[in-house]
């Protein structure tokens, strides 16, 4: 199991209530793209969350949150939320709402031209 499929199903349900995501395999897990931007995902048992600078700084004060650093270098504005921060439905929804709000503030990405 490369990622927690139960958590991914919970995330999928919440994201699709609020957006029309594209689901992709990414980073050995699953990512939910909204407006062409990665919003949230699941890697192993962690929620992956994308927030802007101030939102990321604030989230890092939470004990269940740490920088996303699977390459050894933290990825700017991407965070891991450990299972302790996503067990309760209201907590998971709150994290996903923060991610959705952030990507809604970004301009939609243009569709990439297909290679021939």
CA dist., res. 89 & res. 1, Å (int): 23
CATH topology classification for 5-104: 3.90.1150
- What is the edge-to-edge ordering of all strands in the sheet holding 37-43? 22-26, 29-34, 37-43, 46-50, 78-81, 65-67
* Backbone φ and ψ of 111, nearest 5°: -65, 135
Dump pLDDT digits (tens) for 38-79: 999 999 999 999 998 899 999 999 999 999 987 788 888 999
This prediction has a pTM of 0.90
The answer to whether 90 and 8 have CB atoms below 8 angstroms apart is no
Pairing of strands 37-43, 65-67: unpaired
Checking if the pLDDT of 101 tops 70, the result is yes
Where do the structural domains in the chain lie, given as residue ranges?
Answer: 5-104
């Amino acid at each position: 199991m490369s990622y927690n499929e139960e958590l991914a199903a919970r995330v999928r349900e919440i994201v699709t209530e609020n957006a029309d995501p594209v689901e992709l395999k990414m980073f050995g897990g699953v990512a939910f793209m909204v407006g062409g931007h990665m919003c949230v995902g699941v890697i192993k048992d962690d929620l992956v969350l994308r927030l802007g600078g101030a939102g990321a700084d604030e989230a890092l004060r939470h004990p269940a949150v740490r920088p996303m650093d699977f390459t050894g270098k933290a990825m700017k504005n991407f965070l891991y939320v450990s299972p302790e921060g996503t067990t309760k439905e209201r907590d998971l929804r709150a994290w996903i709402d923060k991610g959705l709000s952030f990507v809604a503030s970004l301009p939609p990405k243009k569709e990439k031209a297909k290679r021939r």
